[in-house]
Amino acid sequence: MDNPCKIVEGGIEYSLGNYDGSYVQYDFSKILIYLNCKGKLLFGKRFKIYKEDKVILLKLCSYFTRDEINCKKYGLDINKGILLSGPVGCGKTSLMKLLRHVVPQQRPYEMIPSRNVSFSFNHLGYKTIEDYGNTKFFCFDDLGVEPPGRFYGKDLNVMGEVLLSRYELYLDTKHRIKTHATTNLNAEELESRYGNRVRSRMRELFNLIAFDETAKDKRK
C-alpha cells in the first residue's frame, strides 16, 4: 500500500508524518511546511501561513487527519462537517481549498459559492435543491450573504432549504454525508438569515471553528 502521509508536489516529496503500515502519526510542523508549499502553488507566491492562524490550522488539521485525541481536546466531532467563520479576507476560503490536499486518500469535497446555488435556483428552480441535497461532499463558501432565490414569482431561502436537505442526508447513517461551509456571519446573524429551525440543524451538522473577530484582512 502507498504511504498515505507522503505527497509529491512539483517533483518534491513531502512527508507529513510517520506510517507504520497500518497507522499514520501526523506531524503538525511537517503539515505546515507542506501547506505553505501547496498554498503557493494554488494561490501564488504571496501566500503564506500566518503565525496567528496556527491554532485554527491545528484544529482543522486535527479534524481532517482524524486525530481523535486532539479533536476531543478541541471539542470536534469527526462525523460532523466544519463551519469556518471569521471576518472578510481572513483566509477562510483559501484554507478550506487547501486542507483538502492534506488527506488525498479521503473523499474530497467540492467548493461551491453559496451565491451560485441561489443563481442556479433562479434558473432551474427546485431541481437545484435536489442537486445540492445529494450524496456528494460540498463546502458552501460565503454562507449567509447569497441573494434570496426567486423562481416563477416565488421567493425561497435557497441555502436554508439546501442545509435542511443536507441535514436529512446526515441523519442517514448509511452515508454520514459531510457538509462544510465558510461564513462571515456570527451565530445571531445566521439565525436571523435562516431562522431558528435551520440554525438548530446547523449545530448538528457542523463543528464551529472561528477566527477571532479582529483577524486582519490578508487581501490588503
Residue 96 belongs to a domain: yes
- Cα 98 from Cα 57, distance rounded (Å): 11
pLDDT in tens, 97-129: 999 999 988 888 999 999 999 999 888 888 898
Which residues partner with 113 through β-bridges? Answer: 141
Q: What is the dihedral of CA 122, 127, 131, 133, to 10 degrees?
A: 100
Please report, rounded to a whole number, the percentage of residues in the chain having pLDDT higher than 90: 62
SS3 184: coil
Q: Which residue has the cell 462571515?
A: 184
pLDDT in tens, 126-163: 889 899 988 889 999 999 999 888 777 677 789 999 99
Distances (CA, A) of 126 to 95, 137, 159, 203: 31, 20, 12, 25
pLDDT in tens, 23-71: 888 999 999 999 999 999 999 999 999 999 999 999 999 999 999 999 9
Q: What is the pLDDT of residue 1?
A: 44
Q: What is the pLDDT of residue 171?
A: 86
User: Total domain count for the chain?
Assistant: 1
Q: What is the pLDDT of residue 185?
A: 93
Q: What is the pLDDT of residue 122?
A: 86
Residue 152 belongs to a domain: yes
Residue 95 belongs to a domain: yes
Residue 146 belongs to a domain: yes
Residue 167 belongs to a domain: yes
Please report, rounded to a whole number, the percentage of residues in the chain having pLDDT higher than 70: 98
- Cα 156 from Cα 150, distance rounded (Å): 6
Range of 159's domain?
Answer: 78-210
CATH of the domain at 166: 3.40.50.300
